[in-house]
Structure 1
């Protein structure tokens, strides 16, 4: 009874009895499943949900009968709510949960595979914003009900029945190992890769290692918390989807040397190499990136110029001044006026405060010689006229 209306009805029944102790719950559901199979076999064709409800009542009514027979008190919920209210709350919570688990991870995945660090940051912030806002609204939509009321909705019950059908295909001993061993391993992996990948973008290797272990501890705590309070699932499930996308992305990038947006930023900032280096954006000279240009005139004096290509397009490079370092993008992130102002380091070689930051356009190398590098043309000698021979007349 893994598919069809009987499976959906049994999943809704499980949701109604979810507050029972796990061992008691399985015993009650085993007896109810046998009874449900007998009732379903009495119909000539596969019964519908309406057929089963006509014979057994709604899943909640049938669950109340089973509670009474087993000696458990009736399940309580928010006062004054009807069954339709519970269905409405369950569908609202399920809808926001689906948005959190699909739309949010989609934009995060776009950011992971972006080629620009700014695109990575934008889509990453947008994705996490949608994820957490939708998850919060999903919890609010529960209206104080048990989170398992989402299984009372038709879509929720159908999905739960299909998922349980797939799980039932796994041998019981393997299911046990996956839960007891695989789940803690996943908690540690998602925490270490998530936190380690984040701190790798901004900190030193030691900070990355410490952050990875801290992320594993937080991930384990969240996993244990979710087992006690199912409302955390609205946050954990979407984050699991993100981890499912991010973990293979990190591993593929490490193996193939793919230059994703965040890895490209990491390599440019902290150094590193890979087996494959796609063409870089910006100005190149003999395979190296040109970050600044210092023009000099024929007399060896540094001058300011604007550069354009053969089609009149400005040759823009990223700004390197204090304004871009402390307030990026406020004055435009690129310019074609050279030389570019760069940050003048202090006596310690580091600038950490915008108030002490100073710009300089002075070339970091000695000025070239004022002697023209183009050799003077060698004067062409003027050919002398060939004397005409004197002709003597003959007599």
Structure 2
């Protein structure tokens, strides 16, 4: 469009651009493109000359016009130029790099912590947070004292910004406008997610203290989010909070999916193995607890001293019980994987050894050997 812009307007806009040079380059370009048609129209009315004096008489100096544009757009006033005789503290490259990398580490760490928090209902890694807090506060002090120009002028920061969508000057205006239209909704997300994370931790020890704290964090995100566009120092707050919102959303989504879908449990129609009942291993088959296992050879002859193993080679070890002599009580004698085990029978017996119920007799416990049934082994063909 510069080929159709009168020379006086181009010179006027050049000084306006210089007066706005402290603002982000992409936003300065948007401001210039917004006011250019108006200035071109005024320049056409005043005559297509090379002098900018008619524009100055009509609009004021480019610097005053730039100040009006700042006020209309909600931008901060231009920083005063330091006096040559003053001892002005200057930012250092080391301090700027410290502030930039500290912000990156804290932002990534906040996102990971929020993801774990949303997934597992309470955050871990408090010691890491306590260690990083002094460094983060030092980086906040740096940008509050020296501003963000030295940070954004670092080569690694410039490369990162150029790689991110919406920050490069060459990004089409339609995309920039769409991303900016989403920002108010995102600030709302940044306000809500921390409160939700706090409510999830409410039942934990000391969790109730997090709810009002995170409510303040969320409310400040609503206030600081829009201001981070004009005052880049607020990025040291809004970026970690945005990471918390993003990580928390992912964690909460994963937690919800885990509860809705859940791990798939498939029931084996013939389950067999050593289960645990009140801390004691038991053997189950078809949902019923087994007291013993009997093994036969191909001729139907019962086998003794058979040892059972699982498919991974581990023994199927179960408690072994025996009768306590003289008391009629049953006692545990150890654990092993040897089968079959003696059958324990409880009751009262007469002098002939016939079981007749209790009938005033002392209950006794007997160990019975042998197999209580006969097995018919099917013949294998051929």
TM-score category of the 2 structures, normalised to the smaller one: 0.3 to 0.5
Q: What is the TM-score when the length of structure 1 is the normalising length? A: 0.43
Of Structure 1 and Structure 2, which has the larger fraction of its residues in helix? 1
Instruction: Give the alignment's TM-score, normalised by structure 2.
Output: 0.44
More strand by share: 2
The structure number with the bigger radius of gyration is 2
